[in-house]
Structure 1
Amino acid sequence: MLLRTAFALAVLSLLIFAQRARSSSGSQSSTAPDKKAPAVQPLSLAEQARFEAGKELYAVICGACHQPHGNGQEGLAPPLANSEWATGSEERLIRISLQGLRGPIKVSGKTYQQEMPALAILEDEQIAAVLTYIRREWGNAAAPVDPKTVARIRAETAKREDAWTEAELLKIP
């Protein structure tokens, strides 16, 4: 477990460095998917604050792989924009965030093989924030994530040491 945590911290450090380097070089793309967003329930003040915090966390932790526009990178990281995984079961998404993901996963009709590191070092509020952002940005219209749900799933999966596979996640409603 210590090795996995050290690995996750190293990956996060690299992602932060890559994101800062990309930001300073001006090579970021700000184009969002060209799709009209469906009508969604407005966020409460607390949820909006969580969304804004998630936007900042996403830029530092997730954006290097999944890109600022949420379209991912071919062969590296799947898209989060218009993704059935991002807008589907929040329980699956929380588990991916807490324990990571390994093996092939099919997203928007394409298969991705790269591993996603666990982000369990983040607090429940931080995971809820970044997932709320992902579920509500780029035309995504899913419900926000509550930190209490993250805490419950963290407790339920506390003894899990392995990253999730697509097959395991698909068994979770």
Structure 2
Amino acid sequence: MTSTISNRRFAKWAMTMCAAGAALIAGDAFAQNVQFAPGKAFFDTKCAVCHQAGGRGQDGLAPPLTELPGRYAANGEGRKQLGLTVLNGMFGQIAIKDKTYNFKMPSFRIESDEDLASVLNYLVFDANSKHAGAKPFTAAEVKALRVTQMDGAQVREHREATLKSLGL
């Protein structure tokens, strides 16, 4: 019984610490003029722990999301890549500019189509300074991508092909 109580206390403490960390991240120096507030809230609570506030990335762990998502979103294959990444996760080594990242991003398939479209819009339009006339993601677009199930390694392979097709 003592073990169960200790486990419950630890779980409650861990949840409190995660919430406090998300609040600190959300209010840090990377505050932005936000168009997609629900997407930012989703990002701050579920993504920023690895990708950091505003998607600036964490060396060696999680890549920055402040440049490529905006460039991807103006192209059909790029949009597909973004959707597949949030739905299926991605893992394995990738390189961005002169840095290497080796991480395992979880799948967010259990989240609603609306939430995933919202977080993608936050990344493309709020966290990225350039988005080349991309249109906002819709819940219907995310829903259509759900039929393509991949594991994280396949998503990473798709990413490499997408980068080549976009000349990046």
- TM (norm. structure 2) is 0.70
Q: Deviations over 1:46-78 (max 9, x none)?
A: xx5xx2210111111111111113211111111
In structure 1, which of residues 94, 118, 122 is the aligned counterpart of residue 83 of structure 2?
A: 94
The alpha-carbon deviation at position 137 of structure 1 amounts to: 1.6
In structure 2, which of residues 123, 141, 159 is the aligned counterpart of residue 169 of structure 1?
A: 159
In structure 2, which of residues 118, 122, 128 is the aligned counterpart of residue 129 of structure 1?
A: 118
- Indicate how the Cα distance of structure 1 residues 154 and 25 shifts in structure 2: closer, same or farther if over 3 A, else same: closer
Which residue of structure 2 aligns with residue 57 of structure 1? 42
The alpha-carbon deviation at position 102 of structure 1 amounts to: 1.1
- Structure 1 spans left out of the alignment, 5+ residues: 1-14, 34-47
Contact 1:86–1:93, Cα closer than 8 Å, also in 2? no
SS in 1 for 2:104: coil
- Indicate how the Cα distance of structure 1 residues 81 and 122 shifts in structure 2: closer, same or farther if over 3 A, else same: same
- Indicate how the Cα distance of structure 1 residues 24 and 150 shifts in structure 2: closer, same or farther if over 3 A, else same: closer
24-33 or 107-116: bigger deviation:
24-33
Distance in 1, Cα, partners of 2:41 & 2:24: 19
The residue identity in structure 1 corresponding to 2:65 is L
Contact 1:19–1:59, Cα closer than 8 Å, also in 2? no
Distance in 2, Cα, partners of 1:150 & 1:21: 30
Runs of 4+ in 1 over 4 A off after TM superposition: 15-19, 23-28
Number of aligned residue pairs: give it. 139
Distance in 1, Cα, partners of 2:26 & 2:43: 17
Instruction: Answer with 1 or 2: which has the greater Rg.
Output: 2
Q: CA RMSD in A?
A: 2.8
SS in 1 for 2:105: coil
Percent of aligned positions that are identical: 30
The residue identity in structure 1 corresponding to 2:143 is A
Are 1:153 and 2:145 an aligned pair? yes
5 Å-filtered alignment, 1:68-79, equals: 68-79=53-64
Q: Which has a greater percent of helix?
A: 2
Contact 1:104–1:165, Cα closer than 8 Å, also in 2? no
SS in 2 for 1:69: helix
Q: Deviations over 1:15-71 (max 9, x none)?
A: 9765423256689632379xxxxxxxxxxxxxx5xx221011111111111111321
102-111 or 130-139: bigger deviation:
102-111
- Indicate how the Cα distance of structure 1 residues 103 and 125 shifts in structure 2: closer, same or farther if over 3 A, else same: same
Which residue of structure 2 aligns with residue 114 of structure 1? 103
The residue identity in structure 2 corresponding to 1:77 is A
